[in-house]
Structure 1
Amino acid sequence: MKKYTPAILIFPCLFFLFTNCNQKKSNTKEDIVRDSIIVKKDSVKKETVLSLDTIDYNKRMQALANKDTTGRWPVKAPYPLPGALLPYNRIIAYYGNLYSKRMGVLGEYPKEEMIEKLQAEVARWKAADSTVNTIPAFHYIAVSAQGAPGAANRYNMRMPFKQIDTLLNWAKPINALVFLDVQIGHSTVKEEVSQLTDYLALPNVHLGIDPEFSMKTGHTPGKKIGTMSADDINDAIAILAKIVREKKLAPKVLVVHRFTQGMVTNYKAIKTVPEVQIVMDMDGFGSQVLKRSTYLRYIYREPVQFTGFKLFYKNDNWNDWKIYTPEQLLQFSPKPIYIQYQ
């Protein structure tokens, strides 16, 4: 297996269809504290106003920082809008595409078997850390990079919306989130995310973007590791924030995959806003030592907001490697709040 140093992953996701304890504040008797949200009831106006319990939020962010002493974590950022998923929940996601058994566990197994496996992982994480709620998610590759330009010369393929509808239907019985992942190829974040706005306007649908397949230099996806700038990521944030404001939704989660220095540039210019919660997801497979090194180099040392960690059932167990357990990952500083299995 060819390896990059210190990067881990060599294009694992490319899909070539063409080629093959809440703390209560002192509130009035008409205030109710629910899941770290203060619900204020105005008996005159008959309105309900939600506000974030910032004391509880700060405690949870400190707990995620896991005794970091460098000042990097927790990241200083605006408080999220009420109803935020993070840091109150840990998201356990299965990644893949329904057209391919090679792109991830989401498409590898029949529906019922896949859901059973996902729920088992959710239970494992819940047992390992009972301080946060644990919720399942489907992380679906809605736009897949391609090895051929296609009619639109975008070097990507947009999956049919009926596949997204299928995932939404699968999600309902288990109260799962749905992430739509975008591999832009020669397109742009703005163009690809904009065609998904109707789905992103749904309360349980969130977004993932993958710099690995953002080919600004004109290369074919899969031939070279791509890159996104803060401007590209901010385009996604702006679209999500607009949806949240217009539809009066809770904050959206944006997952950004990363496993090299060059995949994300000018990280300090990434905007943090109350409407969007940003997860920098440590992508890539390899030994535990190599994966921890990547996490420290590109996620820990370049803080944005929240962190994620990707695990590969096959490639992380290759040769004499062993996949990380929940208990091991919970020793990291900061603790990842989004876990993705491929």
Structure 2
Amino acid sequence: MAPLTRRALIAGTTAGGFALATGCTGAGPTPTPSGSAAASTTAAPSSAAPSPSPSPAAVSPSPSPSSPSPSPRIAQLPGGGTVPFPGRRMVALYGHPTAPVLGMLGEQAPAQAVARVHALVAQYQELLPDEKVIGAFEIIATVASAGRTADGSYSNRTPIETIMPWIEAAEANDIYVVIDLQPGRLDFLTQAKEYEALLKRPWVGLALDPEWRLKPNQVHLRQIGQVDIAEVNAVGTWLADLVKANDLPTKALVLHQFQPRMIVGRDQLDTSRPEIQYVIHADGQGGQPAKQATWQALLKDLPQNVFLGWKNFEDEDLPMLTPAQTVAQVTPLPHLVSYQ
């Protein structure tokens, strides 16, 4: 089966008839699912492809960095320091290196992606002259599949050698990297461990995409996935231990979400480890009123000591916000803004 485009995914999902409502906004249409356009494939992993002001403290407290005094061996992050937030904001291109249909990241070679993200950073830096803005790549490492894969996981792993040119381009150009997981029927920790070699690199963080986390016997495109907070906390503990054991700077751990139900028990998120910083990343797409309704729903009962992310969709947002509109209209102002 040919890979589905992001537009085809929306049409196919809508035709499937499952509910997309967040369950707590009650206002206007709800954004459709984000992330990869899941593709039916049993190909080898190497061919994986099918996807203005800070907040009031009462709404989204800006946590203080809580990491211990860094060892002299700990590498500095892009822009300096060893703790991602709140000392900088990140602007990211999202996608898969070999699949332009999954986002802006893969629409060009690494060198051109560097130039593209730096151009976006320059726009945000002009809008936020008193803050530090850096670029980021969010790379889909495991890609949700609409068809059963050889191991039955409904998730295709991208080989590390396919990702490495993007990591190296990022490291040469002061760009942070986030490795994104769409695990299908596997658990997030199992997949995260497969990319341990990348996560040992100082400038590489991790993202979990519950939309593509299936229960046994579920398949993609028939429902929106979800994950229990215990599984998220297990990943956080493992990643924090990895950071500590390898004298790494604090890592960003991004949780993608566009419905409250996608992270079951989110209020029990364990943010006690100084080696990681969680980012709740709003992945809703569609019209701006619907995106804002989703944003407000996700801000309710936000766990303490988390940061916020927002995604702009090039094709699916109606319309996509400009950088100036993002800064002016998305409140609290996110520390991570990504582009798909």
TM range (shorter): 0.7 to 0.9
Q: Which residue of 2 aligns with 1:53?
A: none
The residue identity in structure 2 corresponding to 1:9 is: T
More strand by percentage: 1
Q: Which residue of 1 aligns with 2:177?
A: 178
TM-score (norm 1): 0.80
Q: Which residue of 2 aligns with 1:219?
A: 218
Instruction: State the alpha-carbon separation in 1 of the partners of residues 66 and 59 from structure 2.
Output: 17
Cα distance change of structure 1 residues 65 and 96 upon mapping to structure 2, 3 Å threshold: same
Q: Which residue of 1 aligns with 2:240?
A: 241
Q: Which residue of 1 aligns with 2:67?
A: 80
The residue identity in structure 2 corresponding to 1:290 is: A
The CA deviation at 1:125 is: 0.8
Secondary structure in 2 matching 1:174:
coil
Q: Identity across aligned pairs (percent)?
A: 26
Aligned residues: 294
Instruction: State the alpha-carbon separation in 2 of the partners of residues 202 and 177 from structure 1.
Output: 11
Q: Deviations over 1:243-299 (max 9, x none)?
A: 111011111100110001211111111111211000000002111111111111013
Matches within 5 A, 1:135-174: 135-174=134-173
Instruction: State the alpha-carbon separation in 1 of the partners of residues 325 and 160 from structure 2.
Output: 38
Instruction: State the alpha-carbon separation in 2 of the partners of residues 298 and 218 from structure 1.
Output: 28
Q: Deviations over 1:73-99 (max 9, x none)?
A: 316687234510101111111111122
Q: Is the 8 A contact 2:60 2:302 kept in 1?
A: no
Q: Which residue of 2 aligns with 1:309?
A: 310
The residue identity in structure 1 corresponding to 2:101 is: R
The residue identity in structure 2 corresponding to 1:94 is: L
Matches within 5 A, 1:190-201: 190-201=189-200
Matches within 5 A, 1:311-330: 311-316=312-317, 321-330=318-327
Q: Over aligned residues, Cα RMSD in angstroms?
A: 2.2
Q: Which residue of 1 aligns with 2:281?
A: 281
Instruction: State the alpha-carbon separation in 2 of the partners of residues 122 and 297 from structure 1.
Output: 28
Instruction: State the alpha-carbon separation in 2 of the partners of residues 128 and 301 from structure 1.
Output: 30
Instruction: State the alpha-carbon separation in 2 of the partners of residues 64 and 231 from structure 1.
Output: 33
The residue identity in structure 1 corresponding to 2:159 is: P
Secondary structure in 1 matching 2:97:
coil
Q: Which residue of 2 aligns with 1:14?
A: 37
Instruction: State the alpha-carbon separation in 2 of the partners of residues 221 and 64 from structure 1.
Output: 38
Q: Deviations over 1:129-159 (max 9, x none)?
A: 1222111111111111112222211111110
Secondary structure in 1 matching 2:20:
coil
Secondary structure in 2 matching 1:330:
helix
Q: Which residue of 1 aligns with 2:128?
A: 129
Indicate the structure (1 or 2) with the bigger Cα radius of gyration.
1
The CA deviation at 1:194 is: 1.1
Moved more, 218-227 or 306-315: 218-227
Instruction: State the alpha-carbon separation in 1 of the partners of residues 194 and 40 from structure 2.
Output: 21
Q: Deviations over 1:46-69 (max 9, x none)?
A: xxxxxxxxxxxxxxxxx9743x26
Q: Is the 8 A contact 2:38 2:220 kept in 1?
A: no
Q: Is the 8 A contact 1:14 1:222 kept in 2?
A: no
Q: Which residue of 1 aligns with 2:296?
A: 296
Matches within 5 A, 1:47-62: none
Instruction: State the alpha-carbon separation in 1 of the partners of residues 307 and 67 from structure 2.
Output: 12
Instruction: State the alpha-carbon separation in 1 of the partners of residues 101 and 170 from structure 2.
Output: 22
2:336 to 332, 335, 338: 338
* Larger relative contact order (CA 8 Å, sep ≥ 6): 2
